[in-house]
Structure 1
Amino acid sequence: MKYDEFLAAIRERGEYPDVAEAERVARVVLSAFAARLNPDEVDDLAAQLPPEAAEMLSVRRFGVEEFLRRVAAGAGATERTAEWDASAVLSTVADAVSGGELNDVLTQLPSGYAALFGRPGLAG
């Protein structure tokens, strides 16, 4: 998936007014999300994303609630809006990477994350 397609999908799913807003939200969500993964998994995930999106990943560790609080703080939004934002970005990530990579990611996360990826029935 190319970066412009990645952002267009996030913009559509999140119903953002423009690509700049979709990119801002992607940066906040991916930065916070990487903290939930081990460094090797961050590298594997980054390898399957467009380079511009891969650069948004950074490593810090915390749970799903803190993840959503950080997304909310970074986006200047409520936690409910942060959940919406995270879902728009992470469901696009799910479409951009292989099923095996998505499974590798989800096995490292609490079950609350699977729903953010648009896969609530998957364990993770």
Structure 2
Amino acid sequence: MNESVEVLLDRVQERGGYKIRREAAGAVRCVLEVLGAHLVGDDRTDLARLLPHQYEPLLTEGPSASEPLTPAAFIAAVGARVDVDAGQARRAVTSVLATVAEVADDALLRRILTQLPPGHAGLFGRTDPT
């Protein structure tokens, strides 16, 4: 099922406590760009198919990361893209990734988490896979 942009942004806006839609949209854009750089293969495209088609290029067309990011470095990378402090960046990351976790099935989410260093599951609102 492909989420609508409005539904996705509503969820991120509510989760992140954003007052205006534009802030939620900016969070989605930045987090998906960073996430897409750290995913490879079918996992990128499988996730992109579940999100509104406008977000597909953010996941699939960006350059691949040169090295994996710890959860703290992932948050810092998002913060650097939108020039916000660590608390605001963490809010963006957790609100977007928890929304992503809602639309991805458990198998896809497990595959995504295995591509990321340990500790990222918490950013998705989940526990680390065993």
Normalising by structure 1, report the TM-score: 0.89
Is residue 2:86 matched to residue 1:79?
Answer: yes
The separation in 2 between residues aligned to 1:53 and 1:97, in whole angstroms, is: 15
Work out whether 1:107 is the aligned partner of 2:118.
no
Which residue pairs with 1:53 in the alignment?
55
- Given the superposition, is the C-alpha separation of residues 14 and 48 from structure 1 closer, same or farther in structure 2, using an over 3 Å criterion? same
**How far apart, CA to CA, are the structure 2 residues paired with 1:63 and 1:50?**
26
Question: In the comparison of the two structures, how many residue pairs are matched?
Answer: 123
Structure 1 residue 51: Cα displacement: 0.7
The match for 1:69 is 76
The reply on whether 1:98 has 2:100 as its aligned counterpart is no
Percent identical residues: 33
The question of whether the paired residues in 2 share the 8 Å contact of 1:86 and 1:116 is answered with yes
State the Cα deviation string for residues 39-95 of structure 1 (Å, max 9, x = none).
Answer: 432112111211122232234323133322220011221122211110000000000
Q: Say if 1:32 and 1:60, in contact at 8 Å, map to a contact too.
A: no
Q: Show the counterpart of 2:32.
A: 30
1:20 CA displacement: 1.0
- Whether the aligned pair in 1 keeps the contact of 2:120 and 2:128 (CA below 8 Å) is no
Alignment match, 1:123 = 129
Could you list the runs of 4 or more consecutive aligned residues of structure 1 that deviate by over 4 angstroms after TM superposition? none
Which residue number in structure 1 is paired with residue 17 of structure 2?
15
Separation of aligned partners in 2, 1:66 and 1:44: 25
Q: CA RMSD in A?
A: 1.6
- What amino acid is aligned across from residue 74 of structure 1 in structure 2? R
Structure 1: 5+ residue stretches without partners: none
CA-CA distance at 1:11 after TM superposition: 0.3
